[in-house]
Structure 1
Amino acid sequence: MMFHRLITCFFLLLSPLPLLAASLQVQPWPAGAKAAHTIAHDDVCGGNTGGIFQHALPVLQARGLHASLGVIAGLCNEQQWQQLKQALQAGHELFNHTTSHVGMLEPGSLAPIAGWDNLKEIAQAQRLVQAKLGYSMQFVAFPSDLATPEAKAFAAAQPEILGLRAAKHLYDGSNAGLNVVDEIDPLFVKWDMYWRDGKWSRYKPANGNMLIQHAQAALESGSWSYRTMHGVADGSFESVPLAQYTEYADFLAAKVKAGELWVAPPTTVLRYAISRQQCALQLQGKQIKVDASGPDCQRYHTALTVDLTPDADWQGQFSQQGQKLASQKLASGQYRILLDPTKGNVRIQ
């Protein structure tokens, strides 16, 4: 009896393991990263934020990182327009921080202050940047992150705008700055503000570098953290010390290199997150059926990272519109491809 059992075990060991059924998974973040993080600097062209150009961008660029810069368009001088042009060429993103940075709300209410003008503060800022740089801003952050319902609706209605930073008076901060991957609202992007003493932040200096804490929180939860700050080593509001900023950039660069963290500007993140939500992919035999008919899929579309568990007769070749797609064979035996949902179905061989 023992002999027969040994023979049975021997042949079981020689037999190939059964293959799992073919399946498809769209990764929460590009290239299988665990989380996403955005670096945002407000008040460019105003508020003594010269350290953004002098210190922050060189630190980031030396590490291959990109930030988003909130432009107060009506305050920019010619030198600053040139600096912004160079920032765009380096891969950074600009967002609309209004024309003059005038406050919007009466204290303790949702009533706009006298003189607030959506056309002047939002639409004119868009036109100024377009005229000076040939660039269309796609994200809006209101001054002091306060906004009337009418201002939010006006900004969201602009055809080029893809996202708004959440108005701080409309959420309690209990999950400040962490956007859950399957629940991201492009018109309500949560964030956390840098304060040296941590007064109005969920992160405290007693626990270490507050900037790193925010990125680490995203990694631990698999979410998207949006870091708001002003200048670096300058006279701006709650300026970040250079040593602290450099330590933060080193942390981000190491996590990016390890494949754990995706660092990107807000509209880049939103394009991925909303495409993942709104563009339907379904594996049917040797084809990935794509439904990109929804308006948000069309509006936000970008390439998605798709992991495929293969069927037995797959050769690992993928094509879309007759063009071969690059694929990566993972250690798990899965294939990873980049798929643009707006380019139609994917053929598998």
Structure 2
Amino acid sequence: MRRISILGSTGSIGTQALEVIAAHPDRFRVAALAAAGSEERLCEQARRFRPALACLTGRQSRPAELPAGCRWAGGEAALAEAAALEEADDVLVAVTGVRAALPAVLTALAAGKRVLLASKEALVAGGELVTRAARRAGQPLLPVDSEHSAIFQCLRAADGNAARRLILTASGGPFRTWAPEKIERAGIEQALRHPNWSMGRKITVDSATMLNKALEVIEARWLFDMAPEQIDVLIHPQSIIHSMVEFADGAVLAQLGVPDMRLPILYAMAFPQRLAGGAPPPNLAELGALTFEKPDAARFPGLRLAYDALAAGGTAGAALNAANEEAVAAFLAGKIPFGRIWRTVRDTMDRVDVRAADTVEAVWAADEQARRMAAAALA
């Protein structure tokens, strides 16, 4: 029985993780539930799953609707309490934003917990800090992103340094076949119409710009200790092959599955075992064909920013992430056109001070500077 704290329980990944736990009551139990808001939903979850601890970072006082016997923590320090909870074996980090995700991951690792990582911001902004903490704790970082879960699974088929190249697949999002000038003028509802995946609003916009894939390139660099030139992106519109690994002997291994986040969630929770009931397998005969194409730089200029950030090193990843969050928020608020998102990120990265990202304070400073610059440019 694995006892799991779920940070970000009311979000898309968190609610799907609870579905997985509910489907395997003999294997998993909820130790803690934590969220930033959505008080009513958190209380509903607490009544159903009976965690030892419930947390809302956006509220100090205990909600009356929480069940008796469930401890309460509120305010900014609540997330750390859930991350280090003694009753938990594992911590699923699925919170939004680097200022929530990075401390939560570091706290969980310092407490000896196994981290199931869905919040890519922690590695994009603080990859050096996180991987160092994981090595010190002797704990694996188990990716929940479908692409990184696929790579993790493929790498288990070989020993040592046999991997030569990582190939992250991308659906191409809603604008894969659009002309670049049409993409520039895309509206909010169009950007939120992902062809394959059901996700939160911010990550869906990131998929449309392919900045989500840029973040995943940086995440892969830290998770798998690969050089940037060993990480490629390939568009695969069917979203059946979630990623691939090319090995030294020329073999390429791929992980296939239907586009359902419950698959990588269950894999991370059950690791190193595999449990039944994640999702039905893909019907390849019915699909008929799996296709691939190179990303078009004219359609998706934001993808290149990942490699720029990795070349710059240090706090450049934190700047990319922060500027993108500010730009996406402005787009979703109707303040800027779609095409301005990646330009805001590029221009901010060109202007920020890049320093070593070897302390949380350095990451915070870079995050704050990039947000300030991006916000000023977007005003």
TM-score by length of 2: 0.24
- Structure number with the higher helix fraction is 2
Bigger RCO of structures 1 and 2 (CA < 8 A, at least 6 apart): 1
Larger radius of gyration: 1
Q: Which has the higher strand share?
A: 1
TM-score with structure 1 length normalisation?
Answer: 0.26
